[in-house]
Each structure stands twice: as structure tokens, then as C-alpha cells.
A = this chain, B = another copy of it.
Amino acid sequence: MSIPQITLYGLPDIPRVRAGDDVAQLILEALKRAELTLLDGDVVVITHKIVSKAEGCAVRLTDVEPSPQAIALAAETNKDPRLVEVILRSSRGVVRQREGTLIMETRHGWVCANAGVDRSNVSGPEGEIALTLPEDPDASARRIREKLLAATGADVAVIISDTHGRAWRLGTVNVAIGVAGMLPIADLRGQTDMFGYTLRVTTVARADELAAAAGLVIGQAAEGLPVVVIRGAAYPRGDGRATEMQRPVEKDLFR
């Protein structure tokens, strides 16, 4: 009997990414080494960290001059004023603040801790580094998709992911902050569920489900795999943007 099946492959041996690197090229080389061929309908999920690094989004904190606003907000939340300066530059504004916590709306419109800015705590010649989100993750996803398509001929979707906390649930999950070659939301209106009932839930955040699934492979640790290929998943094709998943402020009950 044929069983419906989805497979996730973690691409091994993606090298450490530097500013200026071509992420699509690194993926193509890793695919070749892994003897994995992209197929039409595959989804390539990429953690934003390597995209941010390639796009030069690493900021040395010693180079950052905090503004008076950053200094005040850092004092209120007990954070590093230089880090808060980087967060503020990445943000439209503060959604919630508390000791040790800054929930921000990013420039792109995502609501998340620290505007998605990751901080290293390596102390080396570079000093401490803050890594911001890509300038336009949807555009990053489109560029990578076009290169993968040109090189392989495979009509794949690309997702750029980040790990977000949730309002009422502990722990983070991977979510999509950029997509290409797909619509982020699957619209199931008019379909019936497995009991023959018309669906109450009509929109599924397919891009977030795909990103969360990839999170199982990506991990967060030393052996992390920053690129995951998902094969066999159904998703709506099209020229979508991850930002279509942002709940409009006028429909937001929790801001």
C-alpha cells in the first residue's frame, strides 16, 4: 500500500558563511556533495542566519554608538545600550518591554523578541557581534530561488526562517519570514474536513508549518544544519510574500 509521505533532508557541510558569499551557490555545492537532486515541488528552507551573514548584516557592537533613546530603553530593560541601538534601528517600534525582554515590531512588520537581532557572546578579535535580519527576506528568498531554478531547472519554493517565541506558549518555533515560489497561506475555503463538515478553519499558514518542520532538522546547536530540503509537501504555488502572513494591526487583538 502506498503511504502519503514527506521527507526532510538536512544539507550537511554548508561552510561557515561570510559577508558577500552566494548562499544559492553554497546550497548548490552542498546538494552536489550530498548527491541530492532538487525536484519540482521541493521546498528549500534556509535559516536566516546564513542569509544575514551573506548579506553583511553582522554588526560589531564596539562600532555602535547608542542614541539617547537606546540608552534610556536599555536602562529600563537592563540590556546593552549598543544592542538596543541595533534593535531600534531594525524596528518600527516597541510592542512590549519588561526587564530583560523587548518585543518589537521589525521594519518588515514581524512581531518578535529583539526585532530578530541575534547576539553572539563570543569574545574574539571581532568582539561581540549582533546579527540583524535580512533587509528584505522575501527578496532574498526570490534571489536564491531564481538561482536554484536557473542552475537545476527545478521549480522549488524557498523559505527564509527565523525562530520566534509565542504570546502564550513557551519555547520557540521556526517560522517563515521570507518566501518565494509559493503562497504562504493555504486557503481551504469551501473544502470539507475528514468528517464531511465544511471547514471552520479555512486558512492554514503552510509556510510556517514548513518552517517549523525544518526546525526539527536545523536545530540550534553546533551540529546545526542551516538548509533543509522538504520533499512531498503540498503547498500553494505562486508569487507570494511572507509578509502576507502579518495580521493587520486593525485585526490585532493583542497589541
Interface residues, chain A, with chain B CB atoms under 8 Å away: 1, 3-12, 16, 33-36, 49, 53, 96, 98, 101, 103, 110-111, 118-122, 163, 166-175, 184-186, 188, 191-201, 203-206, 208-210, 212-213, 215-217, 219-222, 224-226, 233-234, 244-247, 252-255
Contact = CB atoms under 8 A, between A and B. Distances in A.
Contact of A185 (B120, B170, B224, B247): B170
Nearest to A188: B220
6 contacts: A4-B9, A6-B216, A167-B167, A171-B184, A193-B220, A216-B234
B163 A194 contact: no
Given A169-B208, A205-B172, A224 B194 contact: yes
B203 A221 contact: no
Contacts of A212: 173, 208-209, 212-213
A247 B168 contact: yes
**Identical copies in the complex:** 2
A246 B159 CA distance: 28
B194 A222 contact: yes
Given A3-B10, A5-B10, A10-B5, A193 B224 contact: yes
A110 B184 CA distance: 25
Given A192-B222, A194-B222, A213-B216, 7 more contacts: A1-B12, A3-B11, A98-B253, A118-B200, A122-B196, A168-B254, A168-B255
B213 A171 contact: no
A42 to B, nearest CB: 13
Contacts of A118: 197, 200
Contact of A122 (B98, B163, B197): B197
Contacts of A193: 49, 220-222, 224
Contacts of A186: 171
Contacts of A222: 191-194, 196
A143 B222 CA distance: 36
A167 B252 contact: yes
B253 A103 contact: yes
